[in-house]
Amino acid sequence: MLKGLSAGRVQTPALRLIVEREKEITAFQPKEFWEIEAIFQNQLQKKQNKIRGLLIQINGKDIDKFAFPDKKSADQIVTEIKNKTALIKKIEKSQNFKNPLPPFTTSTLQQAA
């Protein structure tokens, strides 16, 4: 290896990526939003299954993620739809699998400690 050579061709793109990501982080503006969720129960079946559902439409109109920018607007919609009939359009069932962590080696045990 020759002395005095730098790894500039590698450092420059990496530094640019870091700077761009940092600019995105500092430019981020948090925006409050509320979602309306309900628990539904089937009255027709003997077995009382409860289903948790998310409000996605009102009167056939889709709801945008930022449709309820504050608690007041979300509470207003909740009072309007509280005693109305709801239709469940889609039920998604999913199973989450979590693999166990690998066993400790000497170095990972020391790092964890």
Q: For residue 107, what pLDDT is reported?
A: 85
Residue 110: inside a domain, yes or no? no
Task: Please state, in angstroms and rounded to a whole number, the distance separating the CA atoms of residues 59 and 63.
Answer: 10
Residue 57: inside a domain, yes or no? yes
Residue 100: inside a domain, yes or no? no
Instruction: Average the pLDDT over each of 42-51, 79-88, 98-107 and give the range with the smallest value.
Output: 42-51
User: How many domains does the structure of the chain reveal?
Assistant: 1
Residues 9-52: tens digit of each pLDDT: 667 777 888 889 999 999 999 989 899 888 877 766 666 777 78
User: Are the C-beta atoms of residues 42 and 48 closer than 8 Å to each other?
Assistant: yes
Residue 67: inside a domain, yes or no? yes
Task: Please state, in angstroms and rounded to a whole number, the distance separating the CA atoms of residues 57 and 81.
Answer: 11
Q: For residue 43, what pLDDT is reported?
A: 67
For residue 33, give the 3-state DSSP assignment.
Answer: coil
User: Are the C-beta atoms of residues 57 and 64 closer than 8 Å to each other?
Assistant: no
pTM for the model stands at 0.52
